[in-house]
Amino acid sequence: MAPSGVAPFWMSPYGPVLDVAWQVGGSDAHGGFTADGYSRPPVSFGIAFGVRLAAEGDQVSHYYEDHDLSRFGEMGRNAPELWDKFNDWYQATFKEGSLTGREKALIALGVAHALQCPYCIDAWSQECLEKGSNLDQMTEAVHVAAAIRGGAALVHGVQMRKRNDELSM
Amino acid sequence: MEALLELPTRNGRRAPRPVSEQRFPSFDSRLARHGLHPLRATGIEVFQINVGKLCNQTCRHCHVDAGPDRSERMTRETAEACIRALERTDAHTVDITGGAPELNENFRYLVDASRALGRHVMDRSNLTVLLLRSQADLAGFLAEHEVEVIASLPYFLAERTDAQRGEGVFDRSIEALRLLNRLGYGQGGKLRLNLVYNPTGAFLPGDQDALEREFKRELDRRYRIHFDRLYTITNMPISRFLDFLLESGNYERYMERLVNAFNPAAAEAVMCRNTLSVGWDGQLYDCDFNQMLEDTVGFGAPTHVRDFSADLLAKRRIVTGLHCYGCTAGAGSSCGGTTA
């Protein structure tokens, strides 16, 4: 349900659909983001983030609007060199290597949950489906992330115990 | 659910289309930006025959809207006209589809006659048809005629397969694949068994080679089943899949995905350029999807198989629509999988 006073995304007129920077026959298999705010789809469609374009005049009254994702590329406007480095690194990271693209997508899905990033969860859920993962595998990946988060909290209990030992008679 | 708009098709009939599709750039305009307009055929290498809409399954994504209650079937007269037309082409492959094409009484005639002309034959099978009592000798017939089987299997687990294709379809599909394997299909020899992967929802297919590796490993590990190639096919935003997109609120997002992923290399290699599609009633189309939209070939090319002209049809201009973005997104999509 969309928040009241804000047009739900499916009713928003979206901006111009731009031609993407498609690299025909190139090695760019994992998409990326252009500095003008548009995402570039990878060959596998395994786009890391969404493609919805922000509409002019959209009200900005809530965090985590899903169409804001397509503005991610704006982060390249004021520090383009750093942005390009991030983009190159990001694309290289998700190329098939010792791990398959499907395995990497499952890791990313788990990390997205650990970080509780709604953009990442949306994008990597879709990516996992496109790469052939099923709901059992995706759920296990989320449990792995949750278990590590839970364990990380719990293991700090040792610190609590040490402090207790120091302070107590 | 989104409002629908009735737009006229080329042959004067009307087909429901979503109102919001007017927001997307036309396919022709996108082709023009890449110097590919107008799109023209390069020949007729694949002669595709859709023998009708009768099927023993009712799949949720079916662009043919096929099912057990459909009565549209190719007659013997039209089947013979197809063979006469085929004879006048250099098409190396005859691609027989439906519905479940095997249920048409002229299916075996088409296979026999095409093979007699020395053409390679492909059967687009839903697999479960092979287990019907009335089709007990079908698998043997296909093997005897060295027919390539293109079999639908959207996933290697029951849940997702049955969600798309119907309750119990997965188990019967596995049984049919085992039958084909026993006959020698899918072992890397003459009897080719290729699987078709359609996404089971409003998302696009991933990398074809990676999915093929995954399917090969899982089907072998779980069921000892072998096949030759996996073809990934994008679901077209028409017919039942369009209904699903609209009802689930995914239409615009899906179309944006297709439009933004336009790949000129895939556009250059679209299957309609080397394929001619014949409908159950003999009408001629650029592809099976145009066939379901009842958009016959246009721009002066003959529109019925009885008026067949290999010269005119081999160089025809292709009729396009918004759904064509489905074949040009990313690595491309065709009846034979990716194209770019």
Burial of B132 by CB count in 10 Å (0-12 exposed, 13-18 middle, 19+ buried)? middle
The pLDDT of residue B300: 94
A10/B252 touch (CB, cutoff 8 Å), yes or no: yes
Contacting residues for B213 by C-beta, under 8 A, at least 6 apart: A100
| More confidently predicted of B35 and A38 | B35
Average pLDDT over chain B reads 93
Q: Which residue of B lies nearest to A127 if distances are taken between CA atoms?
A: B206
B331 CB within 8 Å of a chain A CB? yes
Chain centroid, CA A167 distance in Å: 44
Closest chain B C-alpha to A168 CA, distance in angstroms:
57
Kindly calculate the radius of gyration of chain B based on its CA atoms and give it in whole angstroms.
Answer: 19
CA distances from B233 to A146, B246, B323, B329 (A): 35, 20, 13, 11
* Residue from B32, B128, B1, B39 nearest B327 by CA: B39
The pLDDT of residue A2: 31
* Residue from B105, B102, B156, B177 nearest A134 by CA: B156
Question: Chain B interface, mutation test: which of A10, A40, A44, A99, most B Cβ atoms within 10 Å?
Answer: A44
B337: which DSSP letter? B
The pLDDT of residue B248: 93
B330/A20 touch (CB, cutoff 8 Å), yes or no: no
> With the C-alpha atoms ordered B105, B96, B188, B222, is the resulting torsion angle positive or negative?
negative
**Does position B104 have pLDDT exceeding 50, yes or no?**
yes
B211 CB within 8 Å of a chain A CB? yes
Q: Which ipTM was obtained for this model?
A: 0.72
The pLDDT of residue B15: 57
The pLDDT of residue B154: 94
Q: Which regions of chain A are under pLDDT 50?
A: 1-54
What confidence tens digit (pLDDT) does each residue in A49-82 have? 333 444 555 555 678 888 888 889 999 999 999 9
Closest chain B C-alpha to A106 CA, distance in angstroms:
14
B255: enclosing H helix or E strand: helix B251-260
> pTM of the predicted model, to two decimals?
0.80
B52: which DSSP letter? B
The pLDDT of residue A45: 33
The pLDDT of residue A16: 29
Coil/strand/helix, residue B293:
coil
Residues of chain A in Cβ contact (below 8 Å) with chain B: 10, 13-14, 17-20, 22, 24-25, 29, 39, 41-47, 51-53, 96, 100-102, 126, 129-132, 134-135
Which of A17, A24, A53 lies nearest to residue B264, judging by beta carbons? A24
> With the C-alpha atoms ordered B153, B254, A114, A44, is the resulting torsion angle positive or negative?
positive
E strands along A14-164, which residues?
32-33, 39-40
User: Count of CB contacts below 8 A, A vs B?
Assistant: 94
The pLDDT of residue A64: 85
Closest chain B C-alpha to A167 CA, distance in angstroms:
56
Angle CA A2–A4–A10, to nearest 5: 35
B205 CB within 8 Å of a chain A CB? yes
Chain B residues touching residue A17 (CB < 8 angstroms) = 24-25, 256, 259-260
Closest chain B C-alpha to A95 CA, distance in angstroms:
12
Percent of chain B with pLDDT over 90: 91
* Tokens 């098409």 belong to residue: B91
CB B285 within 8 A of CB B297: yes
| Alpha helical stretches, state H, B117-250 | 138-144, 158-165, 169-182, 208-223, 239-247
Where residue B119 falls among pLDDT bands split at 50, 70, 90?
Answer: very high
* Tokens 């006209």 belong to residue: B81
CA distances from B103 to A140, B77, B202 (A): 42, 17, 30
Give the whole-angstrom CA distance, residue B280 versus residue B73.
Answer: 6
* Residue from B151, B205, B159 nearest B175 by CA: B151
The pLDDT of residue A127: 94
E strands along B129-242, which residues?
148-152, 193-197, 229-232
| β-pair partners for B16 | B6
B260/A51 touch (CB, cutoff 8 Å), yes or no: yes
| Alpha helical stretches, state H, A28-67 | none
b/e B48-73 (16+ beta carbons within 10 angstroms → b): bbbbbbbbbbebebbbbbbbeebebb
Q: Which residue of A lies nearest to B22 if distances are taken between CA atoms?
A: A13
A46/B207 touch (CB, cutoff 8 Å), yes or no: yes
Give the whole-angstrom CA distance, residue B337 versus residue B206.
Answer: 11
A102/B214 touch (CB, cutoff 8 Å), yes or no: yes
B124: enclosing H helix or E strand: strand B120-125
A 10 A CB-CB count for B298 gives: 16
Mean pLDDT calculated for residue range B216-242: 96
Q: Which tokens hold the place of B84? A: 């006469």
CB B266 within 8 A of CB B331: yes
**Does position B156 have pLDDT exceeding 90, yes or no?**
yes
Q: Which tokens hold the place of B179? A: 């039958």
End-to-end Cα spacing for chain B: 35
Chain A residues touching residue B157 (CB < 8 angstroms) = 134
Which of A41, A53, A134 lies nearest to residue B330, judging by beta carbons? A41
Mean pLDDT calculated for residue range B10-17: 52
Q: Which residue of B lies nearest to A53 if distances are taken between CA atoms?
A: B256
Question: Chain A interface, mutation test: which of B24, B253, B260, most A Cβ atoms within 10 Å?
Answer: B260
Where residue B22 falls among pLDDT bands split at 50, 70, 90?
Answer: confident
Q: Which tokens hold the place of B292? A: 């379901």
Where residue B332 falls among pLDDT bands split at 50, 70, 90?
Answer: very high
* Residue from B206, B119, B112 nearest B154 by CA: B206
Angle CA A141–B244–A46, to nearest 5: 40
B19 CB within 8 Å of a chain A CB? no
B260/A132 touch (CB, cutoff 8 Å), yes or no: no
The pLDDT of residue A58: 53
Question: Chain B interface, mutation test: which of A106, A129, A133, most B Cβ atoms within 10 Å?
Answer: A129
A52/B259 touch (CB, cutoff 8 Å), yes or no: no
CB B322 within 8 A of CB B52: no
Percent of chain B with pLDDT over 70: 94
* Residue from B280, B337, B212, B309 nearest B54 by CA: B280
B204/A13 touch (CB, cutoff 8 Å), yes or no: no
Give the whole-angstrom CA distance, residue B115 versus residue B105.
Answer: 17
